[in-house]
Amino acid sequence: MTALHGGRLGTWIKLPALESVQIVAHAAFDFVVIDQEHAPLDLRTVYELVTVAQALGVPPLVRVADGAPSGIQRLLDAGAAGVLIPHIDTVEQARAAAAAVRFPPAGRRGAGGTSRAGRWGLLSREEYLATSDSALCVPQIESRQAVGNAAAIAAVEGVDALFVGAADLGLDIGAAPSAPEVSELCGTALDAAHAAGIPCGAATATPQGAAALLAQGFDFVVVGNDTSMLAEAATATVHAIRGDGGPR
């Protein structure tokens, strides 16, 4: 779990471009989260992004589109360091997510030792099965119900961290992500994770926001994303030259 401890900084990867991973790796981000929930990334593209991230020493997590065990299994067999699973509201959903990440008897993941995670069959069965011990299962807490169940979700065997989604929490309660009510809910989830002895993360769009989250006690922060960084740099370049670089 070292990838998610000690004030680690990551960023979302949304573009189907290997260069995105290379650029953020060279920028010294601690990890990346490849985003299948809000970006049109297919399995083959994610496989390639994971491979490049690992080659550069940057742990690649994947935010899956949903908690389907078949999708989680294929991503872990592709070599992903772990998965973020959106909209985990109940203990039962958290148990199902953890089971999809772990091999029996701890879970229900199927064996695929000839995959990339098993070095295409070169690892022994024992070595391949041991890879699930280090795979990260990270439920996303994104509703009032989820916050209410956060302590129980964090205590589920096989859950390695929580990730708080302030944007969806705000949607759930009808408030802006920066509203005091949302901040209070995020703090409750953070406290629940720490009480269970696991790290808790959150996301923000800005460096200032990341610093504030780390100061609040969050263990890892996902800041910005490749698409927005490109958009902001492009807009700033045009504005600096012509003074009219606003979005079209």
pLDDT tens figures, 235-245 = 999 989 988 75
Q: pLDDT, tens digit, for every residue of 55-95?
A: 999 999 999 999 899 999 999 999 999 999 999 999 999 99
Q: Which amino acid is present at 222?
A: V
Tell whether 81 is covered by a domain. Answer: yes
**Helix H or strand E encompassing 10:** strand 8-13
CATH classification at residue 115: 3.20.20.60
Which tens digit of pLDDT belongs to each residue from 24-44?
999 999 999 999 999 999 999
Which residue out of 26, 38, 194, 239 is catalytically annotated? 38
For residue 128, the enclosing domain spans: 2-242
Cβ proximity of 88 and 137 under 8 Å: no
Predicted pLDDT of residue 245 = 58
Tokens standing for 115? Answer: 């995959």
Residue 182 to residue 201: CA distance in whole angstroms: 15
38 among known catalytic residues? yes
pLDDT band at residue 3 using 50, 70 and 90 as cut-offs: confident
DSSP H helices, the chain, are: 18-26, 43-55, 69-77, 91-101, 125-134, 144-148, 150-154, 166-173, 180-195, 207-216, 226-242
**Counted domains in the chain:** 1
Taking residues 161-179, report their average pLDDT: 95
CA distance between the termini of the chain: 42
Q: Is residue 248 part of a domain?
A: no
In a domain, 247, yes or no: no
151 within some domain: yes
Mean pLDDT of 214-220: 97
In a domain, 85, yes or no: yes
**pTM for this predicted structure:** 0.94
